[in-house]
Amino acid sequence: MIEFEKFLQNNLIKNPSFHPYFEKATNEMLLAGGKRFRPMLLLKVVEAYNPLLIEGAYYPALALECLHTYSLIHDDLPAMDDANLRRGHPTLHKTYDEVTAILVGDGLNTYAFELITVSPLHNDIKVALTKELAQNGGLNGMVLGQAIDCYFENKPLNLDEVKFLHIHKTAKLIAASLKMGAIIVNLDKNLQEKLYNFGIDLGLLFQIQDDILDETKSSEEAGKDTHNDGDKNSFVNLLGLQKSIEEADKLANKLEKEFESFDEKLRQNLKPLITKYLKRHKQ
Average pLDDT in the 16-21 region? 92
> Is the confidence at residue 222, as pLDDT, over 90?
no
Which stretches within the chain are classed as H helix?
A: 2-10, 22-31, 37-49, 54-75, 92-95, 98-117, 123-137, 142-151, 159-166, 172-184, 189-216, 219-222, 235-239, 241-259, 264-278
Helix or strand (DSSP H, E) at 152? none
Q: CA-based Rg of the chain, rounded to a whole angstrom?
A: 18
pLDDT tens-digit map of 110-134: 999 999 999 999 999 999 999 999 9
Q: How far apart (Å, rounded) are the C-alpha atoms in residues 228 and 215?
A: 9
Number of domains the chain is built from: 1
Say what percent of the chain tops pLDDT 90.
Answer: 84
Domain interval for residue 53: 2-282
pLDDT tens-digit map of 77-109: 999 989 998 888 899 999 999 999 999 999 999
The pTM of the whole model exceeds 0.75 = yes
Report the CATH number at residue 160: 1.10.600.10
Q: What is the DSSP letter of 81?
A: T
